[in-house]
Amino acid sequence: MEMSNRRFGFAISMIIVAIVAANADSSKEIIVKTVKGKKVCDQGWECKGFSIYCCNQTISDFFQTYQFENLFSKRNTPVAHAVGFWDYQSFITAAAIYQPLGFGTTGGKLMQMKEVAAFLAHVGAKTSCGYDVATGGPYAWGLCYNREMSPSQSYCDDYYKFDYPCAPGAEYYGRGAIPIYWNYNYGAVGEALKEDLLNHPEYIEQNATLAFQAAIWRWMTPIKKGQPTAHEVFVGDWKPTKNDTLSKRVPGFGTTMNILYGDSVCGQGDIDPMNVIISHYHAYLDLMGVRREEAGPHEVLTCAEQKPFNPSNTKSSS
């Protein structure tokens, strides 16, 4: 008797309750269950696999096609360089891999909107062909490119010839939504996404879903083991060490630039390449209806005074 009661209790805690999300698309089902006292959920293709993050809204609940079109309004004008390549669906499809891990699903709606704006600000700034007098303003031109136009080299680093050997004839110039350069980066992303990008780096400029997947992978993956990810420093899942504090690295948008670009953008004072990324972030928050003040104070937005996590060693040679 006691035995069967226990089993009954166990069964209850594992019971699966299907509820229909009240606010969003009424056809969307959130399946909720409790595992070891924790509530976890599954929302179908967009947020699959029973995760705490899938109990929150998904990106498509608060970021829809018209918002993507507003952010990247000039990408299909005739002068753009990747006309017809990028679309909303490729972003949402790519994000589906990472939403169960917290991408755009962490911390509640405001933080979720801010993270999508911040990630896309990097994308917009890195793929823009806008300039000060461009129609629509300088921040309307994100996703104008999907590849580097006049590469000056093939970005093959022989140091990695055992782990990530360059394929004959392959060129590892910048491609994607947050462009990837170099054989070792193509190799590492390819491993993560299970695509043979070392032999076929061109896949990134042929498939927008893959291009967004590679960019979100970069946002969600540390550059080196033991270092925080851009996602973690942005959503506040990172505790700075004493060294970080001495290096002026604080949680927030500024430190995402430190992680992604190091000293090419950070620790150089108030330079243009940094300010352009921050301005995209502000512009995208505006377009998404999030007040600019929510982006936080200057100290959090900037990396002008930060020491890089990974100083480049080629700096003095060129």
Ligand X SMILES: *[C@@H]1O[C@H](CO)[C@@H](O)[C@H](O)[C@H]1NC(C)=O
Interacting residues with ligand X (CB under 6 A): 52-53, 56, 106-108, 207, 209-210, 243
Looking only at the bridges linking them, the beta strands covering 29-35 and 17-20 are antiparallel
Report which residue's Cβ sits closest to ligand X. 108
Q: Which is nearer to ligand X, 199 or 209 (CB)?
A: 209
Q: How far apart are CA 256 and CA 211, in angstroms?
A: 19
Residues 260/142/150/308 CA torsion (nearest 10 deg): -20
How many CB atoms lie under 10 A from the CB of residue 189?
A: 23
Question: Among residues 53 and 145, whose Cβ is nearest to ligand X?
Answer: 53
DSSP assigned state of 167: P
Minimum separation from the CB atom of position 57 to ligand X (A): 8
Closest to 69 (Cα-Cα) out of 266, 259, 235, 284: 284
Number of residues in the chain: 318
Nearer to ligand X, 68 or 212 (CB): 212
Task: Tell the smallest beta-carbon distance from residue 203 to ligand X (Å).
Answer: 8
In angstroms, what is the minimal distance from the CB of 115 to ligand X?
Answer: 11
Please give the structure tokens belonging to residue 112.
């979720």
Kindly state the smallest distance separating residue 39's Cβ from ligand X, in Å: 10
> Could you tell me the smallest distance in angstroms from the CB atom of residue 136 to ligand X?
29
Q: How far is the CB of 14 from ligand X (least distance, A)?
A: 20
Q: Give the N- to C-terminal CA distance of the chain in Å, as an integer.
A: 79
Between 23 and 318, name the residue whose CB sits nearer to ligand X.
Answer: 23
Nearer to ligand X, 107 or 222 (CB): 107
214 within 8 A of 180, measured Cβ to Cβ: yes
Nearer to ligand X, 71 or 96 (CB): 96
CA distance 195 to 177: 17
